[in-house]
Amino acid sequence: MLKIDKEACIGCGICEDTCTFSAIEVVDGVAVVGDNCTLCGNCVDVCEVGALSIDKVEKKVVADLADWTGVWVYAEFRDGRVAPVAFELLGAGRKLADQLGVPLSAVLLGSGLDNNAQDLVAYGADKVYQIDDPALTHFTDDAYANVFEDLIREHKPEIVLAGATAIGRSFIPRLATMLATGLTADCTALAIREEDGALMQTRPAFGGNIMATIECSTSRPQMATVRPLVLKPNGRDDSRQGEIVKVTPDPARLLSRVKVLRSVREETNEVNINEADVLVAGGRGLDSEKGFEMIRELAGLLGGATAASRAAVDSGWVPYPHQVGQTGKTVCPKVYFACGISGAVQHMVGMQSSDTIIVINRDENAPIFDVATYGVVGDVFEVLPKLISRLQDQRAGEGDN
């Protein structure tokens, strides 16, 4: 609980101004804490007279932290293939492991795993623990969490990462609860704190309006699910050597109280905007379906795909699979055009890591210019037609030769 030393408090109100959650108020010259205090400690840090404290009743350190070492990555496997996020995790995990000076291992669970473990080595794993069993054909929370728990208890990794996919976000929370350790969901950045080697896990909250960095200080392993398409995989290196450990689990641990009767793949004729090298995105500034046509035209000319802000999707100019951002897709093309898009945080989190970002917006103060590689302050109805016609001329010229 937050303690306020009434004698020491001078009622300056700095804490009130600092409280992220408006949970502290100066009443009659003394700070008073309300029910919505989350004990984040921001006020304690800023109090100039040291009147605030959080009584951290000695937290019991549950795990002997030093016993736990190594970085693990869960390599999600479904339908005969490893999910792409596993390679991204190996890329990120490799950096963390190198910084800590420990090995990086992957955990591969499923049925009919073939040579997939070798791929994980090529993408950075030093070791792969694999359990290949028909009981793991379908994903069930019980069986997957049970066998994973046994592996973790036996080998004691300090960090366990998984993709924030439907599967990861389903069974990893159960696993963390079994292990009585902390889990941070849907992270977008991971780093090692120099002083003590702790894992700093950064994630969006409140629909992306706020970022929070989280640690897990008293238990192990430190666990995180990581949003797909945010971290970058390393290149494939077939000369890498690694050890593949085939594990036979206790049959009782493969039993599941949940039965999967049928697993149905839904054919989507969804465009995959994640795969395009060039994305041309339009927002509310395009004004109408007709205006949005310019986006399609430009994308066509550049051999790219169309993308959109939520405002454009909500207006019905373009279907949802094209939406980029917090509640849409995360993309990172070579070139991203943002036309008539203001740059709400929820949009920017989905495209900020694009290699080159070209912004066309008539409002020079639009936040989207903060991420622009090249910015054009101008009206889309003037700039885009010119750009399109110049490109058409170029293409026609190429045709002549």
Residue 70 found at the interface with another protein (CB under 8 A)? no
Is residue 308 within 8 Å of residue 322, measured between CB atoms? yes
Q: Could you tell me if 96 and 71 are in contact, meaning their C-beta atoms sit under 8 angstroms apart?
A: yes
Q: Which window, 90-98, 106-114, 231-239, 370-378, contacts another protein (CB under 8 A)? A: 370-378
Q: How many residues bind another protein (CB under 8 A)?
A: 103
Site for another protein in 140-159 (CB under 8 A): 141-142
Q: Among residues 20 and 99, whose Cβ is nearest to another protein? A: 20
Per DSSP (E only), the strands in 66-167 are 71-75, 77-78, 81-82, 104-110, 127-132, 159-163
**In degrees to the nearest 10, what's the CA dihedral of 161, 99, 92, 127?**
-60
Residues numbered 10-39 forming contacts with another protein, rule: CB under 8 A: 17-22, 35-39
Contacts of 68 (CB under 8 A, 6+ apart): 156, 157, 158, 220, 221
Helix 380-400 with 289-301: angle, nearest 10 deg:
30
Q: Does 212 bind another protein (CB under 8 A)?
A: yes
Residue 325 contacts which entry, ligand FAD, another protein, none (Cβ below 5-8 A, type-dependent): ligand FAD
User: Residues 342, 359, 371, 387: which binds ligand FAD (CB under 6 A)?
Assistant: 342
Nearest to 4 by CA among 34, 36, 41, 32: 32
Q: Which stretch binds ligand FAD (CB under 6 A): 101-109, 175-183, 189-197, 361-369?
A: 361-369
Q: How many whole angstroms separate alpha carbon 366 and alpha carbon 352? A: 15
* β-strands 127-132, 243-246 pairing: parallel
Minimum separation from the CB atom of position 194 to another protein (A) = 14
Residue 233's closest CA among 124, 352, 395, 364? 124
Helix (H, G, I), strand (E, B) or coil at 278: strand
| Residue 327 within binding range of ligand FAD, rule CB under 6 A | yes
Q: Are 284 and 311 in contact (CB under 8 A)?
A: yes
Spatial separation of the C-alpha atoms in residues 98 and 1, rounded to whole Å: 38
| Contact residue for ligand FAD among 130, 306, 326, 353 (CB under 6 A) | 326
Q: Are 148 and 175 in contact (CB under 8 A)?
A: yes
CB of 218 to another protein, least distance (A): 7
Residues between 236 and 295 with contacts to another protein, criterion CB under 8 A: 256-266, 277-278
Least distance (Å) between residue 86 CB and ligand FAD: 24
Query: Does 306 engage in binding with ligand FAD (CB under 6 A)?
Result: no
CB of 260 to another protein, least distance (A): 5
Among 184, 306, 309, 361, binds another protein (CB under 8 A): 184
In the list ligand FAD, another protein, none, the entry touching 67 (Cβ below 5 to 8 angstroms by class) is none
Picked from ligand FAD, another protein, none, the partner binding residue 309 (CB below 5 to 8 A depending on kind) is ligand FAD
Measured distance CA(398)–CA(401) in Å, rounded: 5
Run of H or E residues at 203: strand 199-205
Q: Per-residue string for binding with another protein, 291-330, x by CB under 8 A?
A: -----------x----------------------------
Q: Is 37 exposed, middle or buried (0-12, 13-18, 19+ CB in 10 A)?
A: middle
For CA atoms 167, 170, 172, 175, the dihedral sign is negative
* Contact between 206 and another protein per CB under 8 A: yes
Choosing from 230, 366, 372, 387, the residue that interacts with ligand FAD (CB under 6 A) is: 366
Restricting to residues 197-226, name those near ligand FAD by CB under 6 A: 207
Name which of 340, 337, 336 is nearest 317 in CA terms. Answer: 340
Shortest distance (Å) from residue 370 CB to another protein? 5
**Paired tokens of 178:** 């079994």
Piece of 50-58, 117-125, 184-192, 334-342 that binds ligand FAD (CB under 6 A):
334-342
Residue 363 as a binder of another protein (CB under 8 A): the answer is no
Q: Does 347 bind ligand FAD (CB under 6 A)?
A: yes
- Find the binder of ligand FAD among 237, 270, 277, 379 (CB under 6 A): 379
Among 4-12, 56-64, 282-290, 312-320, the segment contacting another protein (CB under 8 A)? 56-64
231: left (phi over 0), alpha (psi -120 to 50) or beta: beta
Q: Between the CA atoms of 123, 129, 131 and 136, what dihedral angle is there, to the nearest 10 degrees?
A: -60
Taking CB under 8 A as the criterion, which residues in 213-242 touch another protein?
213-219
Counting contacts by CB under 6 A, is residue 312 touching ligand FAD? yes
